[in-house]
Amino acid sequence: MKIVTLDVRSPAESMQDFVRAWKTGDAEESARISFATPELLWKVLSAKRWELLKILCGAGPISIREAARRVGRDVKAVHGDITGLLNAGVLDRVEDGRIVFPFDAVKIEFLLEAA
C-alpha cells in the first residue's frame, strides 16, 4: 500500500530529511508532502479538495470530468480545485492529460502546541 503523509514542517526540516536520505540512500517507504504552516495545509486541503482526494485514492488516472461526476460537482469548480492540488504538488498529471493521486492512503500529521 502506497501511503503519503501530509505534514506541517518548516522548509529547513524538510530539507534536512532530504539531505539525510540522500547521503544514506535510505528512502522512506511512504512519501511526504510538507506544508510550512497548518493554515497553508488547510488552505490547500479545503473540504471540497479533501472530498476529491478521497475519491482519487487508489483510483488510478482519471479525467477531471470523471472526478467531477464522482463527487457530484460542476466540472469548472472541480477543475479549479484540481489545479490548486496540482500546483501544491498533491496531484500529478499523466501524459494523456488525466490526473492521478498515486497513493492508496493519506495520513495527516501535525502537532498543535500551547502558545
8 A C-beta contact, residue 72 and residue 55? no
- What percent of the chain clears pLDDT 70, i.e. is strictly above it? 91
The pLDDT assigned to 30 comes to 58
- Judge whether 58 lies within some domain: yes
8 A C-beta contact, residue 27 and residue 64? no
- Judge whether 74 lies within some domain: yes
**Which structural domain, as residue segments, surrounds residue 74?**
3-109
- Judge whether 50 lies within some domain: yes
- Judge whether 115 lies within some domain: no
3-state SS string over 16-77? HHHHHHHHHCCCCCCEEEEECCHHHHHHHCCHHHHHHHHHHCCCCCECHHHHHHHHCCCHHH
pLDDT digits (tens, 9 = 90+) for 26-65: 655 558 888 988 889 999 999 999 999 999 999 999 999 9
- Judge whether 21 lies within some domain: yes
- Judge whether 49 lies within some domain: yes
- Give the separation between CA 68 and CA 63, rounded to whole angstroms: 9
- Judge whether 72 lies within some domain: yes
Q: Can you give the pTM of this predicted structure?
A: 0.80
CATH assignment of the domain containing 61: 1.10.10.10
> Residue 51's CB: how many other CB atoms inside 10 A?
16
